[in-house]
């Protein structure tokens, strides 16, 4: 075999290797993440939603943290932990200073000995540094609400005639919940463990920031919640 033949075979082998690697990266997200860690934007969500905007396992700080005499929001055990000592206290942690529009979010909420009247969930379309936003909440007692907060005004529950409502689809005192929310196209939809709980229409806020929150009950004796495996995708 002459040198020209060896060179040609080498080129053919190189082309074949490039093709195999390209196909492997295209059809194997796991391989891509191993070769190029940190790539998150532009991927397609397995749930059939649009491209992934944020995927966070809370292994590195991205959310707001703070500790006061009344509450603590800190990273612990590869999750974001919220401990609230005061009764009827609403505490949130923003992701960043970016505004998002027409999004789907999911997060795993873990109960760490939390009182059954504690509420927790997702905030979307937060208007700058104000207290104007939507929030979608559930409690370990199986209740839920989709609400609108407006700076300087009382919150309005957009579901159940401005009251907390029960749902048989929310397990009572489960050790954890997968809470999801659609915020976009004038509609707000709450999901728990992959099942739709409620949906309402409101277009007061069409875009804004996102956050996670915990709301201690009026008779709360222990409020301790952790958040893990956050995912945000574009709505189709």
Q: Are 202 and 134 in contact (CB under 8 A)?
A: yes
Q: What is the pLDDT of residue 221?
A: 79
In terms of phi and psi (left: phi > 0; alpha: psi -120 to 50; beta: otherwise), the region of 47 is alpha
Phi, psi of 10 (to 5 degrees): -65, -40
- For residues 34 and 12, what is the distance between their CA atoms, to the nearest angstrom? 27
- Distances from the Cα of 181 to the Cαs of 137, 172, 199, 231, in angstroms? 10, 20, 10, 11
Q: What average pLDDT does range 88-115 have in this prediction?
A: 96
pLDDT in tens, 33-52: 322 223 233 333 344 468 99
Mean pLDDT of the chain: 83
| C-alpha to C-alpha distance for 72 and 51, rounded to whole angstroms | 33
The region of weakest confidence among 31-40, 193-202, 211-220 is: 31-40
Q: What is the pLDDT of residues 185-198, one digit of tens each?
A: 999 999 999 999 99
- The phi-psi region of residue 208 (left if phi > 0; otherwise alpha if psi is between -120 and 50; otherwise beta) is left
Give the confidence band of 123 by pLDDT, cuts at 50, 70, 90: very high
The two counts, helices (H) then strands (E), for the chain are: 2, 16
Question: Is pTM, for the whole model, over 0.85?
Answer: no
């Amino acid at each position: 075999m002459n040198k020209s033949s060896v060179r040609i075979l080498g080129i053919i082998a190189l082309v074949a290797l490039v093709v195999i690697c390209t196909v492997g990266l295209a059809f194997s997200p796991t391989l891509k993440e191993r070769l190029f860690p940190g790539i998150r934007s532009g991927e397609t969500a397995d749930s059939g939603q649009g491209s992934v905007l944020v995927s966070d396992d809370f292994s590195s700080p991205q959310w707001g943290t703070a500790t006061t005499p009344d509450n603590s929001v800190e990273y612990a055990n590869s999750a974001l932990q919220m401990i609230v000592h005061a009764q009827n206290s609403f505490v949130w942690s923003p992701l960043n200073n970016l505004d998002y529009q027409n999004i789907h979010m999911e997060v795993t909420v873990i109960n760490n000995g939390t009182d059954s009247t504690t509420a927790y969930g997702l905030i979307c379309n937060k208007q700058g540094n104000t207290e104007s936003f939507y929030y979608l909440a559930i409690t370990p007692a199986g209740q839920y609400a989709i609400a609108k907060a407006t700076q300087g005004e009382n919150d309005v529950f957009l579901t159940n005639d401005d009251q907390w409502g029960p749902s048989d689809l929310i397990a009572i005192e489960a050790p954890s919940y997968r809470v999801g929310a659609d915020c976009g196209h004038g509609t707000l939809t709450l999901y728990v463990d992959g099942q739709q709980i409620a949906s309402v229409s409101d277009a007061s806020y069409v875009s804004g920031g996102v956050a996670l929150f915990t709301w201690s009950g009026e008779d709360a004796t222990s409020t301790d919640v952790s958040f893990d495996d956050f995912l945000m995708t574009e709505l189709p």
